[in-house]
């Protein structure tokens, strides 16, 4: 459980999330997808860091 949490937090910081974790015999199958919610949040943070008066 701790390993899954650590891996999940690491991927979240890079804009991904773990969609599912399944056990296949003695192995784990981890499905990772882009987290669009994170990308929207990141765009908002980037926009808030722009200099006042700057427009696209």
pLDDT tens, N- to C-terminus, the chain (56 residues): 677 777 777 777 777 888 888 888 998 888 888 877 666 665 655 554 554 554 44
- Please identify which residue in the block is written with the tokens 């999940």: 8
pLDDT of residue 55: 46
Output the pTM of the full model.
0.47
Which sequence spans correspond to the domains of the chain?
A: 2-48
Q: What are phi and psi of 26, to 5 degrees?
A: -100, 10
pLDDT of residue 56: 45
Cα–Cα dist 43/56, whole Å:
13
Which DSSP category does 50 fall into? S
pLDDT of residue 44: 58
pLDDT of residue 39: 61
């Amino acid at each position: 459980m701790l390993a899954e949490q650590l891996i999940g937090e690491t991927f979240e910081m890079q804009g991904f999330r773990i969609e599912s974790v399944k056990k296949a015999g003695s192995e784990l199958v981890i499905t990772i997808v882009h987290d669009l919610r994170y990308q929207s949040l990141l765009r908002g943070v980037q926009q808030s860091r722009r200099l006042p008066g700057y427009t696209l």
